Amino acid sequence: MKLRYSPTSPYVRKVSVTAIETGLKTAIEQVPTNVWDPSTDIHMSNPLGKVPALVTLDNMTLYDSPVICEHLDSLHDGPKLFPTEGLARWTALCQQALADGILDAAILRLLERRRPEEVMRSETWMERQRSVVVRALNTLEDEVEALSGDITIGQISVGCALAYLDFRYVDEDWRPGRPILAEWFEAFDQRASMTATVPKDPT
């Protein structure tokens, strides 16, 4: 399999963590991809022009991270990261959706903040995205008990989202007022799959 990736994408990190947790890391060839390069061919793998994108053993291309992660989870015989039924499944999927929403908002805010001219930036838009993250973090603090137990895609997604906030928003510590979530993340962040996928390039 081939994975189109960027070393700082939190969605790619989610896939990489999943690959490690499912024992499939060595089965995946990583193909570095700069989606901002005008000459990139990422649209050949993903018409949305984003990473991650995975070329499977059947030469099928999958995108984006929820689809890729579930595909990887279907390829191994160990405990499943995607529970198959009942409350456990819907809880994990909602946790993944909430975490991906944090990432969506954090990235939109980051891109707005990076506009070259201050006059072009929308403080209202950035505050809206910040509020989304705050509400989601507060929800996770209230529901952190649901992050216990065997590892799921929900835990992986939340862990990668919180790590991304640490990576991109070092001046805005999300931990104050959320001690239970902070304690959970401190433990989860020590998993081998997390320590092996820390982004190296902060650009």
pLDDT tens for 46-97 read: 999 999 999 999 999 999 999 999 999 999 999 999 999 999 999 999 999 9
For helices 153-168 and 86-113, the axis angle rounded to 10 degrees is 20
How big is the CA angle at 23 (ends 21 and 29), to the nearest 5 degrees?
105
C-alpha distances out from residue 132 to 60, 98, 126, 161, Å: 34, 10, 10, 13
Tell me, what's the pLDDT at 201?
A: 63
Under a CB-based contact definition with an 8 Å cutoff, are residues 97 and 136 in contact? no
Q: Which CATH class is domain 86-191?
A: mainly alpha
**Arithmetic mean of pLDDT, 6-34:** 96
Under a CB-based contact definition with an 8 Å cutoff, are residues 1 and 55 in contact? yes
For helices 123-142 and 179-188, the axis angle rounded to 10 degrees is 80
Q: Extract the tokens encoding 78.
A: 């160990």
Sorted by where each begins, the domain ranges of the chain are 2-73, 86-191
- Give the CATH architecture of domain 2-73: 3-Layer(aba) Sandwich (3.40)
**Arithmetic mean of pLDDT, 166-174:** 97
Confidence of residue 191 (pLDDT cuts 50, 70, 90): very high
